[in-house]
Amino acid sequence: MNDILPDQTPVWQFFEETVRRVLRSYGYQEIRMPVVEQTDLFKRSIGEVTDIVEKEMYTFNDRNGDSLTLRPEGTAGCVRAAEEHGLLFNQSRRLWYTGPMFRHERPQKGRYRQFQQVGVECFGMAGPDIDAELLLLTARLWEQLGLGSHTRLEINSIGSAEARRTYRDALVEYLNVFRAELDSDSQRRLTTNPLRILDSKSPETRRILAGAPCLDAFLDEDSREHFSRLRQLLDSAGVAYTVNSGLVRGLDYYGKTVFEWITDSLGAQGTVCAGGRYDGLVEQLGGKPTPAVGFAMGVERLILMLETLELVPEHVNGNADVYITAMGEQAVAASLSIGQSLRERLPGRVVVTHCGGGSFKSQMKKADRSGAQVAIILGDNEIAAGTASVKSLRSDQAQQSVKQDQLAETLIAIL
Ligand code: ATP
Ligand code: MG
């Protein structure tokens, strides 16, 4: 679990503001859920035989003896909340959320125990048009973040529950022959949840999987049509993708469309956004049958991309714009009110008023370290004359003396 320190938060804020703006522009509404839910909710939605539920959840008993879990993902809680508050009643919804998720995994680059996701969930829309919109939306987000040329899209259809059942039998029949050569997790899953084996990272298992029957040969007509229409929509919108028939997602609730956005710039942890359709989940959790599709992106990985590829825009930093220094009692009083009026006149600019006294030299040092373009100097002379000295900290421009009521204009011209 990481601390995110003041020199890192500007990138986070840039990311969050961009996400907020893009989602808003598509008409998505934000929802905020608690970070803790009943353990049972995750078991029922994510699936008992998944990495998350088997080994990654932070689960504890509270004082009433209820089993609670720090959310490992947001979809289950979002469905729970939407149902509980009647948001899905005869209507479609486009929702999003962001916040910390918790998984007890082996920490490594791009994989943490507390990490941040942005999740998007759409309810009540059964067709491939909304699947396509989600992919367009993410593509636009990558563009806005400057990551457009560093991410690629893989899509697949994993069909209906029925189709997956038939496929499962064929897969098990094939894998049984190689049983002894599979990794131990996969051996166990052969009887509990064989489709999860397709997710295995073991090279030996992957080698065996290369000869396994393919899910797409088992797809039902409805899923096939949905997928082919989705591909047409993506083609006509100009979103590039590849079909990866080995792509299955690590959670039980997905069906039909699944997708991942992947980058090659982060090494092994290259999936930055993943999701798909989960038409059965709302009903499975006690609601009316409601088609749904969504995705989650890993904020740390996307931020790591911005940093690794040196794509953080120059204006994204924690720098001040103006730093006001003051020597003497009257100057200190003036510095505070000048600061107030400058913030009024220069919206969006960062105006730092020096506090804590000290010599002129030490105040100027702090002004420099603040990253400000300009220092304003207030001393006895300036106070007596009703002026302020304006000193550029990043250029050779000569220091100028201006009337205090002309300060804002002067600064607007400089900044
Ligand atoms: P992975 O295959 O990388 O383990 P996953 O399939 O477990 O990912 P999802 O549950 O689909 O991941 O979560 C969506 C996204 O959240 C991932 O694509 C990734 O970007 C991010 N993510 C998942 N787990 C972590 C983690 N432990 N630390 C940081 N980011 C994570
Ligand atoms: Mg995982």
**Domain range for residue 333?**
322-414
Cβ of residue 56 lying under 6 Å from some atom of ligand 1: no
- DSSP for 175-188? HHHTGGGS-HHHHH
Q: Distance from the CA of 278 to the center of ligand 1, in angstroms?
A: 18
Say whether both 113 and 242 belong to one domain: yes
Ligand nearest to C-alpha 112: 1
Tens-digit pLDDT profile for residues 378-405: 999 999 999 999 999 999 999 999 999 9
Atom of ligand 1 nearest to the CA of 272: 20
Q: Is residue 166 part of a domain?
A: no
Q: Distance from the CA of 320 to the center of ligand 1, in angstroms?
A: 35
Say whether both 260 and 232 belong to one domain: yes
Say whether both 269 and 362 belong to one domain: no
Cβ of residue 259 lying under 6 Å from some atom of ligand 1: no
- Domain-ending residue, one of 308, 339, 372: 308
- Domain-ending residue, one of 262, 286, 308: 308
Q: What is the CATH number of the domain that holds 62?
A: 3.30.930.10
State the amino acid at position 340 in one-letter form. Q
Tell me how far apart the alpha carbons of residues 78 and 33 are, in angstroms, rounded to a whole number: 7
Q: Is the pLDDT of residue 81 over 80?
A: yes
Q: Is the pLDDT of residue 197 over 80?
A: yes
Tell me how far apart the alpha carbons of residues 144 and 278 are, in angstroms, rounded to a whole number: 28
Q: What is the CATH number of the domain that holds 331?
A: 3.40.50.800
Q: Distance from the CA of 195 to the center of ligand 1, in angstroms?
A: 18
Say whether both 238 and 368 belong to one domain: no
Mean pLDDT of 351-355: 98
Q: Is residue 314 part of a domain?
A: no
Tens-digit pLDDT profile for residues 253-302: 889 999 999 999 998 889 999 999 999 999 999 999 999 999 999 999 99
Q: Distance from the CA of 309 to the center of ligand 2, in angstroms?
A: 24
Token representation of residue 101: 């998720």
Q: Is residue 135 part of a domain?
A: yes
288: nearest Cα among 123, 78, 165: 123
Q: What is the mean pLDDT of the chain?
A: 95
Amino acid 29: pLDDT: 98
For the chain, the domain total comes to 2
Ligand nearest to C-alpha 72: 1
Q: Is the pLDDT of residue 12 over 80?
A: yes
